[in-house]
Amino acid sequence: MAEKTAAPDLFAGINRPKDPNNLTELEKKHIPVITAPDKVKPGECFEVVVEVGKLLAHPNENAHFIEFIELYAGHVYLARMDFTACATCPVMKVCVSLGKDLGPLRVFERCNLHGVWEADKPITVG
C-alpha cells in the first residue's frame, strides 16, 4: 500500500499559519500572497495579484500542484483561476471593481496534497 505524503489533518478544514511570525516550510509554500491597494474608490478598477509559492517555491508537477485560487471580498465571490501541473504557474492577476466596502480581500488556494489554505488582506473602499 502506498504511503500517504500529506498529514490527514490538512484536509480537515481551511489551513492558516499557526504562528505568522514564524512560518514553517509547509506554510511558506502554501500561503497565498496578496498584492492589492490598501484603499480604492468605489467603482474604481484595481489589480489584485495572488501568488502561491512566493515565500518558498511550491512544486509544480503532475503529482503535486496548486489546483485553484479563489478571490473573495468578504463573503462575496469575485474570481477563480484553475491550474494544471507543469504548464501553468500558480499566479492569478485580476482587475476588480468594488462598489462598497465588503470586508477584506480573502483568498483560498488548494494544493492537491496539502489541502486548502487561506489568506486575507484589508482593503478600504471609500
Using CB under 5 A, list all residues that contact Fe ion.
111, 113-114
Nearest residue (CB) to Fe ion, 106 versus 114: 114
Distance CA 6, CA 103 (A): 32
Q: Which is nearer to Fe ion, 59 or 74 (CB)?
A: 59
Shortest Å distance, C-beta 121 to Fe ion: 22
* Residue closest to Fe ion, measured at CB: 111
Closest distance to Fe ion from the beta carbon of 116 (Å)? 11
Q: How far apart are CA 42 and CA 98, in angstroms?
A: 6
- 19/25 with CB nearer Fe ion: 25
Q: In sequence order, what DSSP letters do the residues of 24-65 get, joined into one string?
A: -HHHHHHPEEEE--SEE-TT-EEEEEEEESSSSPPP-BTTB-
Q: Are 30 and 52 contacting, i.e. CB atoms less than 8 angstroms apart?
A: yes
Q: How near is the Cβ of 111 to Fe ion at its closest, in Å? A: 3
